[in-house]
Structure 1
Amino acid sequence: MDDTGGGRSVDRPGGDEWGREGLASPRLLVTLFAVASITFFVASAVTEQVPEFATDVDLKAFFLIYLLVALVPYGLATLSAGIGMAVGEGAYDIIEGYELDDPFGFVGYVLGIVTFGWVLHVAGDPTDRRWQVAAAVAGAGVQATFEGVAFFVLSDAGLPVALFSILGNTVTHGVVLGAVPLVLLLPVVAEPIAQAIGVERASA
């Protein structure tokens, strides 16, 4: 992955957390991992209290990790946040009760966040709300597809149920708790979050 800020509209953050070659420092990577894992673990404990809307269709607060990834250029920082998200979800899954598709879900979360970062920073414009929405839906869609396929293969659910799970989770993860809060909150919390994780805001 390129950590030099491959997006067309974003310069890499300055400050001590980025080296001369534009690579995220180990401290920043650890910070992103820790914040993502703890935040998503706590969020999962809350959202899991809401009953599933349909078979394997639930709520996940993707926007919390999207807010982090939106503030750093695409690269190792993106991957670190994605792994942190997966670990946070995995830790809660262990407490809630381990299922056969959980390892597939772990990979799906990482790929979903990597997809979000790529669409937002490389293919699109992180300052454009349309690209924020597109990235949020794409990231959740990748994760939902990965988990939906595993659900179909490892359970007795038929193809229609698995497809509805993919579509439903793309909406709940990517729109309801993805694009909508991301677009509304990013202008408000970008500066405080950037300061908290130790980087300067990416400039348009």
Structure 2
Amino acid sequence: MKNSSEVDGYVCECRDPQSYGKNCEYLLPMGITFSQTATAEIALIEANPTDVQVYGDIICCVTLVCNSGLLCLDWREICDGVQQCMAGLDEENCDKLEFNECEHDEYRCMNGMCIPEEFFLDGEFDCLDWSDEIQYYDDANCPLEEVSTRCDDRICPANQYSCGDGQCIFNRFDFQIMSQIKRECRSRREQYFICETHYINGDKSY
């Protein structure tokens, strides 16, 4: 289709509903929408809990270059009170957030962020850590959502583990505890690169 706003420009529409990208060069692995793909991948991971590292993958985005082991650093893990980088770069100068002062007409979020006072308890999450509202939304639904600032920009509260997609859990190793009440990442991010959870032909690989 010719783009009339540019002399030599074209606007292209991908014929295959599974394809996307500037030149339709990418293809969704399952489904014809992102939501369908995310739902199918989560179902595949949940159906194969001992093969998480086979049926899933973690997308790494470089936010802070540091040695954090095989599991890449998620931007939500910066200034979360837990040192992930070997040299501690992810927790440098974070104390400044604790002493941040807001104006008299602002509300101070638990993470030090300031928002207008009228945004407090207005029904919408304005603090990145969701501390300005009663948490009525189940963050376990975040991995299944399409682009959503509510989930994509969320920072986990102190002492909680980030699943990398807006969901937060209290204990990364909760899945190893024999209990009926468990809070796991739907993406199983907390189980990545933990060799005890990866089985090959019925044997544990260490």
TM (norm. structure 2) is: 0.23
- The structure carrying a bigger strand percent of its residues is 2
Q: Point out which structure has higher relative CO (alpha carbons under 8 A, 6+ apart).
A: 1
Larger radius of gyration: 2
- The structure carrying a bigger helix percent of its residues is 1
